[in-house]
Structure formats: structure tokens, C-alpha cells
Structure 1
Amino acid sequence: MRAAPAFLSAEDLLEQVWDEYANPLTNTVTVTIGRLRRKLGEPPAITTTPGVGYRITNA
């Protein structure tokens, strides 16, 4: 099994989860991450590093 990268950018998520031709200027990733955070609750399971991307934390 391959190790997951430490961070995934919004563009990486769009390509891997939705479609390689998805518009990177949409807020699809931001909205979906927000919904996941609400469902997963506290402590935050997904962290954001501005300018880098998103990361799943081991809480």
C-alpha cells in the first residue's frame, strides 16, 4: 500500500476525486471539506494550511 501525501492541494483533490477537467476556480473543494468537518466533529480531522493544502490528521 502506498503512503498518502502529507498535503493535498485543492487542485489535486479536484483531479483525483471529481474530474481532471473540473474548474479549479470553483469552491467545490472548500464546501465539501466544510461538510466533512461538520460530520466528523471535534477534534478537527482535516486541517488546512493556507498556500499548501489539506491534510488528514490522526486525532
Structure 2
Amino acid sequence: MMPEKFPPVKVKDPSSGKEVELSPIKVWTLAPKSRKGVKIGLFKSPETGKFFRAKVPENYP
């Protein structure tokens, strides 16, 4: 089974401090009970190789 590909998104890389366009590895919704939440993506820094989480747009697939 192939992992599904997500379209790239502009995020700020916290380890290098630069804004880069990356495709998330995984996307999920983070929400408290009975309230609207935010979508979070898991990204890997191209420079340092560290993983980080960042908010993705609400209408993201």
C-alpha cells in the first residue's frame, strides 16, 4: 500500500527559521470536545532532518 501524497504547503521551518514549501507526511485535526479545531501537519525539515508540526490551511484535503 502506497502512502497518499499531500499537496505542498508553505510553512516556517523552526529549526532553520526559513519559510519553505513542503508536503506533509501526515495530517490530522486537533480539536477540543464539541468545538471547531485546527488541522495540523507533520513535516520533515529538508536541512536538518528534524520533524516538526505546523498548522495547515482549513480547506486542506
TM-score (norm 1): 0.25
Q: Which has the larger radius of gyration?
A: 2
Kindly indicate which of the two structures has a greater share of residues assigned to strand: 2
